[in-house]
Amino acid sequence: MNTEAPLQGLRILAVEQFGAGPFGSLYLADLGAEVIKIEDPGTGGDVARYVPPIQTGTSSLYFEAFNRGKRSITLDLKSSGGREVFRALAATADAVYSNLRGDQLEALQLTYRHLSEVNPRIVCTALTGYGRAGEEATLPAYDALIQAQAGWAAITGEPSGPPTKSGLSLVDFIGGLTAVLGLMVALHDARRTATGRDVDVDLYRSSLAMLTYQAAWFLSAGVPAQRHSMSAHPSIVPFQFFETADGYIAVACGKERFFTELVARLGLTDVAGDKRFADFAGRREFREELLNRLAEEFRRKPSQEWVRLLRGAVPVAPVRSMEEALDRAEVSSRDMLATYESPALGDVSALGTPIKLGGYTPEYTAAPTVGEHNDDLLTQLGYTAAQVADLRKKGAFGKHTS
């Protein structure tokens, strides 16, 4: 039996757009939180609505992928009317969650200093590009820019090739998840103390944090980062891709016993008896010699033959295309297929939440149209028709025309 959604009753005001912010709040919506998107009427709402392919009107599959199950209200937060409605919403909310330039938080009054006046328990989480202070606070930030500046691109790709960005927007995704973690930590504390706070997360610092062990090597001992062929691990050998007779496989010998089993199953008695390869340090020192020998062997058979031979004894996986990984039957068997009907786009199939909670199954619904919930939310806040008309004159819902 499906239990009540774990985040039922949690109200989040999301001043968000494009990828990073919406990706984080999507997890909250999937788990039952009421996520209310505050969309700028002057821009037609979230820019993600207009990203091709599969785009019609103010809806797109790109937008659906980040915003299913949310609600939408259009508010011009630069107007007195828009700020009035936002403050009324904030009085009923648990948190404000935004992903704007760092210099916009004060200008739009999205900080705890401003909103604690109407709700002392509110948590104000800001996901910015480079933080809220300093010259970089005024800069727009995009995933590719951060991957370049934070050193990710320099350590990705073949040694002889150019710096390479990940094929996924990993900076946006890790930023969104980090921001949501910060939000939930602050919410827990607010429920304990009855006092909210600001939570600041930025894409740049989140990306630096992902350098983890390579950062520790360099900062502690001056060990520089190096790129290695075939997406190899910088210190564990073999831990990389290998070309096969018909494609590629990934092999990860993260423990001594895996390497021992690998060379045994490959029948490489010469490698097994070579003292140069007896431990992690030796295999790292004589990386080139070992990898040349393994590469020669792996090219003898197709990928699936190697997977059948090694799987269960040695960590191994075929290198598949995205289309192969998204085999509908396989995705469904992993309980990762989200299907629902969109009024604008028809049948939508996407990936569901990877967080599986006992007794709870998410019910996926379409992303909102621009301002779809204006009337419901304004009525809920107690505004009369006359008051809504006055708010419209104050520019709350965009430029007023008589």
Q: Give the chain's domains with CATH numbers.
A: 11-209+329-393 (3.40.50.10540), 229-243+248-318 (3.30.1540.10)
Strands 95-98 and 123-128: parallel
Q: Which residues contact 173 (CB under 8 A, 6 or more apart)?
A: 19, 20, 23
In a 13 Å sphere around the CA of 216, the CA atoms on its Cβ side amount to 4
User: What is residue 100's predicted lDDT score, i.e. its pLDDT?
Assistant: 96
Say if residues 266 and 295 touch (Cβ distance below 8 Å). no
How far is the C-alpha of 369 from the C-alpha of 57, rounded, in Å?
10
Place of tokens 């973690």: 181
Q: Could you give the angle at the alpha carbon of 83 between the alpha carbons of 82 and 85, nearest 5°? A: 65
List residues bridging with 190 in a β-sheet.
none
Angle between helices 303-310 and 256-265 (to 10 degrees): 120
Angle between helices 385-393 and 80-90 (to 10 degrees): 130
Specify burial of residue 385 (Cβ count, 10 A radius: 0-12, 13-18, 19+): exposed
Residue 313: count other Cβ atoms within 10 Å of its Cβ.
14
**Lookup: tokens for 9:** 């009753």
How far is the C-alpha of 124 from the C-alpha of 177, rounded, in Å?
16
Mean pLDDT, the chain, whole residue set:
96
Place of tokens 């379409």: 366
Q: Which H/E stretch holds residue 124?
A: strand 123-128
Per-residue model confidence as pLDDT tens for the chain (402 residues) = 567 999 999 999 999 999 999 999 999 999 999 999 999 999 999 999 999 999 999 999 999 999 999 999 999 999 999 999 999 999 999 999 999 999 999 999 999 999 999 999 999 999 999 999 999 999 999 999 999 999 999 999 999 999 999 999 999 999 999 999 999 999 999 999 999 999 999 999 999 999 999 999 999 999 999 999 999 999 999 999 999 999 999 999 999 999 999 999 999 999 999 999 999 999 999 999 999 999 999 999 999 999 999 999 999 999 999 999 999 999 999 999 999 999 999 999 999 999 999 999 999 999 999 999 999 999 999 999 999 999 999 999 998 644
E strands, 247-329, are 248-252, 316-318
How far is the C-alpha of 391 from the C-alpha of 377, rounded, in Å?
14
Place of tokens 């939508």: 348
**Lookup: tokens for 147:** 């991957």
Residue 156 three-state SS: coil
User: What is residue 400's predicted lDDT score, i.e. its pLDDT?
Assistant: 60
From its phi and psi, is residue 59 left (phi > 0), alpha (psi between -120 and 50) or beta? Answer: beta
Closest alpha carbon to 398 in 15, 38, 12, 21: 38
Closest alpha carbon to 179 in 226, 135, 124: 124
How far is the C-alpha of 296 from the C-alpha of 118, rounded, in Å?
69
How far is the C-alpha of 318 from the C-alpha of 97, rounded, in Å?
39
Note every long-range contact of 384-390, with CB atoms under 8 Å and residues 24 or more positions apart, other chains counting.
390/81
3-state SS string over 24-81? Answer: HHHHHHHCCCEEEEEECHHHCCCHHHHCCCCEECCEEHHHHHHHCCCEEEECCCCCHH
Phi, psi of 128 (to 5 degrees): -110, 180
Q: Which H/E stretch holds residue 159?
A: none
Closest alpha carbon to 363 in 38, 135, 30, 97: 30
Q: Could you give the angle at the alpha carbon of 94 between the alpha carbons of 100 and 209, nearest 5°? A: 50
3-state SS string over 80-95? Answer: HHHHHHHHHHHCCCCE
How far is the C-alpha of 335 from the C-alpha of 327, rounded, in Å?
13
